[in-house]
Amino acid sequence: MTLELIVRNYNYSSWSMRAGVLLRAFVPDFRERMVHFVGFDATSQFKAEMREISPTATVPALCDHARTDSTGRPLVVWDTLAIVEYIAEYCAHSPVWPRDAIARAQARSLCAEMHSEFGHLRARCPMNIGPDLGQQGAILWRDHQGLRHDVARIDAAWCDLWDRYKGPFLCGDFGAIDAYFSPVV
């Protein structure tokens, strides 16, 4: 087992969840290490520990202990979208991305959109799986048009893919796009 995924608690870290879901599907023998989160402050223990692993001091970070960087340390991939691409290459014979060129382009585009857009969804609905937030959600939905717009865009994209590829997942078979949107679900 050469791959190690460093994450924060999946209940609170959508980016960690995306990478974890993808790895569980395609590389089930990876090792996982959860870094205890005590705050985003630059001097926090979390940031200090993550700075030892990744130049961004963020999670997730994927370490490949079978490969090294220019300093001789294990190779680290520190961005969720880059982790997806690394896993697609690592599992070259698995359908991390759809084999069909059109489906693959659509899946990559939507993952990139999730990576860089949907600011209202991110700002108003941070990851928190544990509690029932239905009442707060109803208020946010009522009061924030931008949130409704983001959700409508995601719904339209999912419906388009579902209509085109007929499921059972967004582009037919389970892949990166499904892992990427798992926290949104």
Greatest C-alpha distance within the chain = 53
pLDDT at 90: 96
129 with 73, same domain?
Answer: no
pLDDT digits (tens, 9 = 90+) for 93-145: 999 999 999 999 999 999 999 999 999 999 999 999 989 999 999 999 999 99
Tens-place pLDDT, residues 154-173 = 999 999 999 999 999 999 99
Domain endpoint, select from 64, 90, 116: 90
Q: Are residues 86 and 106 in the same domain?
A: no
Say how many domains are in the chain: 2
99 Rama sector, left if φ>0, alpha if ψ -120 to 50, beta otherwise: alpha
Q: Are residues 17 and 62 in the same domain?
A: yes
Average model confidence (pLDDT) across the chain = 94
pLDDT at residue 1 in the model: 67
In a domain, 18, yes or no: yes
User: What's residue 40's pLDDT?
Assistant: 75
Shared-domain flag, residues 123 and 81: no
Residue 42 predicted with pLDDT over 90: no
65 occurs within a structural domain: yes
| Contact (Cβ atoms closer than 8 angstroms) between residue 147 and residue 154 | no
Q: Is residue 96 in some structural domain?
A: no
First to last CA, the chain: 30
Residues 169 and 106 occupy one common structural domain: yes
Q: Residue 105's domain spans which residues?
A: 101-181
SS3 content of the chain, % helix, strand, coil (to 5): 50, 10, 40
Are 8 and 86 in a shared domain?
yes
The answer on 122 and 85 residing in a single domain is no
The Cβ of residue 4 has, within 10 Å, a number of other Cβ atoms equal to: 17
For position 106, what pLDDT does the model report?
Answer: 97
Tell me the per-residue pLDDT of 54-97, one tens digit each, with 9 for 90 and over. 999 899 999 999 999 999 999 999 999 999 999 999 999 999 99
Assess whether 41 and 107 both reside in one domain: no
- Stated pTM of the model: 0.92
Residue that the structure tokens 């499921």 belong to: 167
pLDDT at 46: 87
- Number of C-beta neighbours around residue 21 at 10 A: 19
Q: Is residue 62 part of a domain?
A: yes
Tell me the pLDDT band of 16, cut-offs 50, 70 and 90. Answer: very high
Asked whether 114 and 180 are in contact (CB, 8 A), the reply is yes
Q: Is 38 a residue whose pLDDT tops 80? A: no
Asked whether residue 86 falls in the same domain as residue 110, the answer is no
3-state secondary structure at position 4: strand
Q: What is the pLDDT of residue 141?
A: 97
- The answer to the question of residue 95 being in a domain is no
Do both 115 and 78 map to the same domain? no
